[in-house]
């Protein structure tokens, strides 16, 4: 299988299904097979029943219940472990937050980028809010300079050390290497 996409739910079943429905046209563009796992992190608010019913009629969509709320990593790893143990493990895993809605070409673009750049382990996409404003998703590792900058915020010093700030401002307009990404929409190589 080329791709396993995962959307994690915790007490937001309607929003989670909105994200799933927005991802399906983007996933349909993927060659090489794909599956979407909707994972409930033991919400105990009726999410289990709602999501189980909503996923039942969707092709290539699998509903999983963790039985324990261990957080973002726990829920995603629940689906990843299951997929990696299968007869057809995915080449890539795409993590999509339940409040993120990918553009129709976003997932395909990430797959193509990772296919073309085998040394890259993780790729993330541009994310914007409903107002169209970009969200910060690309970051540098913290450093002594970034800590000083964050602590003091002194006009001239802030301008001089702008390239050391942890969030990258403005958001990169082109593909570039960053130290770490927000996990709202990112693809990971197996």
Total tally of structural domains belonging to the chain: 2
Per-residue pLDDT tens for 87-117? Answer: 999 999 999 999 888 888 999 999 999 999 9
- Do both 149 and 62 map to the same domain? no
Same domain, 88 and 155: no
CATH number at residue 8: 3.90.550.10
Q: What angle do CA 189, 22, 48 make, to 5 degrees?
A: 85
Model confidence over 18-74: pLDDT tens digits?
A: 999 999 999 999 999 999 999 999 999 999 999 999 999 899 999 999 999 999 999
Which domain does 28 fall in, by range? 3-132+173-189
Better-predicted residue by pLDDT, 11 or 124:
11
So what's the pLDDT on residue 120?
95
Burial category of 6 from C-beta neighbours within 10 Å (exposed 0-12, middle 13-18, buried 19 and up)? buried
Running DSSP on this structure, what letter comes out for residue 118? T
Average pLDDT rounded to a whole number, residues 119-129: 85
59 shares its domain with 143: no
Tell me how far apart the alpha carbons of residues 130 and 32 are, in angstroms, rounded to a whole number: 31
């Amino acid at each position: 299988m080329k791709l396993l996409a995962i959307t994690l739910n915790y007490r937001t079943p309607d929003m989670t299904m909105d994200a799933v429905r927005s991802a399906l046209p983007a996933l349909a563009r993927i060659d090489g097979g794909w599956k979407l796992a909707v994972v409930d992190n033991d919400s105990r608010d009726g999410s289990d029943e709602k999501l189980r019913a909503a996923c039942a009629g969707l092709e290539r969509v699998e509903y999983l219940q963790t039985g324990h709320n261990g957080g973002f990593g726990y829920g995603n790893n629940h689906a990843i472990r299951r997929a990696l143990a299968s007869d057809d493990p995915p080449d890539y895993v795409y993590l999509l937050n339940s409040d993120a809605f990918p553009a129709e070409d976003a997932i395909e673009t990430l797959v193509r980028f990772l296919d073309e750049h085998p040394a890259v382990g993780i790729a993330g996409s541009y994310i914007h809010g409903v107002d169209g404003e970009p969200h910060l998703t690309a970051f540098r590792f913290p450093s002594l300079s970034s800590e000083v900058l964050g602590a003091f915020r002194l006009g001239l010093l802030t301008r001089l050390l702008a390239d050391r700030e942890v969030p990258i401002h403005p958001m990169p307009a082109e593909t570039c290497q960053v130290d770490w990404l927000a996990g709202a929409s990112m693809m990971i190589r197996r």
